[in-house]
Amino acid sequence: MDTLSLAEKQAQFDEFFIISHKLNVNVKPLDADTPLPAHSQLEEVMPYAFRIASEMSSLDAAAIRPLRNLSDHASTLAEYLTHQSKKIDLMMSFILQQQDDPDYRLSTVKFGGGGVVVNTSEPINIGTHAQIKLFLTEEAAAIFCFGEVIACQEDKDGYHIAFIFNRIREQDQELLVRASLHLQTLQLRKRAQSRDDDA
């Protein structure tokens, strides 16, 4: 990733599905002389709340999956466990929101598995690296990673800055892909519902 040209990075960014959606994101630009952690060291620099959130999400998905195959007799148990899971999600979401730093808070314009586009009032130079925290409220999750600016375009609201993820855990990238597809499904349902209401 670090040796790719700008065009190759933009092509890699475009390989992933990306959805227009507003999320809270913290973007903390790094000094040019600040080295990025090695991929193997990412978890060591990651705040603890982000590490346990990812593990809890994986455990939750693994625990609920077998219940889908049980007969109707276990539906009450499945419903109870689903409610317990939602309570844990709410608590985890609250814990993760404490990691949101107002000094570095921006909003996303788009996001996907390959990167994120944020709205800023000031331009950021292409090639700038940043520490990124993405807060996925709908998924009761948050992602900690590093990115690099691959595009900076002026817009009526300021600037749209595109970051490609260059240090991200595989499970977090998968979570972003699932979240973007889930949000698209919700958007399509809303659109269909509004069409039905207008008919």
Supply the CATH number for residue 50's domain: 2.40.10.220
- Report if residue 38 sits inside a domain: no
Q: Which residues pair with 117 in a beta bridge?
A: 110, 162
Which pLDDT belongs to residue 198? 73
Which pLDDT belongs to residue 161? 97
Which residue's structure tokens are 């909003």?
107
- Report if residue 171 sits inside a domain: yes
- Report if residue 37 sits inside a domain: no
Q: Cα–chain-centroid distance for residue 21?
A: 11
Using left for φ > 0, alpha for ψ between -120 and 50, and beta otherwise, residue 110 falls in beta
- pLDDT tens for 134-153 read 998 877 788 999 999 999 99
Which pLDDT belongs to residue 106? 96
The DSSP bridge pattern shows strands 129-136 and 141-155 to be antiparallel
Rounded to the nearest integer, the mean pLDDT of the chain is 86
- Report if residue 159 sits inside a domain: yes
Higher pLDDT among residues 51 and 59, named by residue: 51
For residue 166, the enclosing domain spans 7-30+43-198
Does the pLDDT of residue 176 top 70, yes or no?
Answer: yes
Which residue's structure tokens are 């990025």?
36
Rounded mean pLDDT of 165-173?
93
Which pLDDT belongs to residue 193? 81
Q: Which residues pair with 107 in a beta bridge?
A: 24, 119
Q: Which amino acid is at 42?
A: L
- Report if residue 36 sits inside a domain: no
pTM value > 0.85: no
- Cβ atoms of 124 and 159 within 8 Å: the answer is yes
- Report if residue 75 sits inside a domain: yes
- pLDDT tens for 76-125 read 777 777 777 777 777 777 888 888 999 999 999 999 999 999 999 999 99
- Report if residue 119 sits inside a domain: yes
Supply φ then ψ for residue 84, to 5 degrees: -65, -40
CA distance 168 to 145: 5
The tally of domains found in the chain comes to: 1
- Report if residue 194 sits inside a domain: yes
- Cβ atoms of 93 and 137 within 8 Å: the answer is yes
Does the pLDDT of residue 157 top 70, yes or no?
Answer: yes
* Token pair of 12 as six digits: 């890699």
- pLDDT tens for 54-86 read 777 666 666 666 666 666 667 777 777 777 777
- pLDDT tens for 179-193 read 888 888 888 888 888
